[in-house]
């Protein structure tokens, strides 16, 4: 699909900003509404993220593909769906958008615009969880795309991410840009900067794994 780069860049920035604001803002709200119940906080955060992501994909999908995620953009470019020129522009825009969204979320809840997260998540379990979460997300997206069911992606991605909050110990960041963004909010959804590299590495590993897997499972793309 041929896309206007300028419109796509604006869509990726706005979508990434709103995604980060959604994830972090709902985490802050959950923390304040249910201060003594971590399970309920996670349920509230996951539910808001799932339905919000569904809406964001519907809004920005026709303009940019609604990536909001560097590993998704990389896999799309590697499979020929996105030009490498677009990829090189998308990635920094996605990161800046997610950092901006973290600032917006903090301000919406009358917190300091920037507060560096202190929640350490750098364990083997978290790293493996991020490989699994990211691999699953990419399989959901590209299996639908390669079998002519792309119109179902918004619902499928929202549902998968909401579920992955629960079945992974990392709560399924599955996105290098949102991982960086969440380091700028010391809240329920935050991640300490020292944990960011291991999460990003795990997400990149999943992107590398998924390419031959997609070629094997779906060798012929449906229109």
Report how many helices (DSSP H) and strands (DSSP E) the chain contains, helices first: 8, 0
pLDDT of residue 77: 97
What is the pLDDT, as a whole number, of residue 209?
98
pLDDT at 176 exceeding the cut of 60:
yes
pLDDT at 27 over 70: yes
**CATH number for domain 5-217, candidates 1.20.1080.10, 1.10.8.50, 3.90.1260.10, 3.40.50.300:** 1.20.1080.10
pLDDT at 88 > cutoff 70? yes
Q: Does residue 180 carry a pLDDT above 80?
A: yes
Collapsed DSSP state (helix, strand, coil) of residue 222: strand
Q: What is the pLDDT of residue 223?
A: 59
Is pLDDT above 60 for 138?
Answer: yes
* pLDDT score of 206 more than 80: yes
Q: Return the pLDDT at 3.
A: 74
Helices 124-146, 70-78: axis angle to 10 degrees equals 50
Could you tell me which of 140, 161, 130, 177 has the C-alpha nearest to residue 42?
Answer: 161
Percent of the chain at pLDDT above 90?
96
Residue 1 has pLDDT above 80, yes or no: no
Using the predicted structure, report yes or no on whether residue 55 has a pLDDT greater than 70: yes
Token pair 């809004």 in the structure block, residue: 59
> Is the Cβ–Cβ distance between 113 and 107 less than 8 Å?
yes
Percent of the chain surpassing pLDDT 70: 99
pLDDT at 221 over 90: no
Q: Could you tell me if 156 and 145 are in contact, meaning their C-beta atoms sit under 8 angstroms apart?
A: no
Average pLDDT of the residues in 122-148: 97
């Amino acid at each position: 699909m041929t896309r206007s780069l300028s419109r796509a860049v604006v869509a990726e920035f706005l979508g990434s900003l709103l995604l980060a604001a959604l994830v972090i803002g709902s985490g802050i709200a959950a923390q304040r509404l249910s201060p003594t119940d971590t399970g309920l906080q996670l349920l509230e955060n996951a539910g808001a993220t799932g339905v919000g992501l569904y809406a964001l994909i519907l809004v920005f999908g026709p303009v940019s593909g609604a990536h909001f995620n560097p590993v998704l953009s990389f896999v799309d470019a590697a499979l020929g769906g996105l030009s490498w020129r677009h990829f090189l522009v998308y990635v920094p825009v996605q990161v800046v958008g997610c950092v901006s969204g973290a600032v917006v979320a903090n301000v919406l809840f009358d917190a300091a615009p920037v507060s560096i997260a202190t929640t350490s998540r750098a364990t083997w379990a978290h790293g493996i969880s991020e490989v699994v979460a990211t691999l699953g997300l990419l399989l959901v997206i590209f299996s639908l795309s390669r079998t002519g069911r792309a119109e179902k992606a918004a619902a499928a991605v929202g549902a998968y991410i909401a579920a992955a909050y629960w079945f992974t110990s990392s709560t399924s960041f599955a996105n290098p840009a949102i991982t960086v963004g969440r380091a700028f909010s010391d809240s329920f959804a935050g991640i300490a900067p020292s944990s960011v590299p291991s999460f990003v590495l795990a997400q990149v590993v999943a992107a590398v794994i998924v390419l031959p897997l997609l070629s094997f499972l779906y060798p012929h793309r449906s229109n």
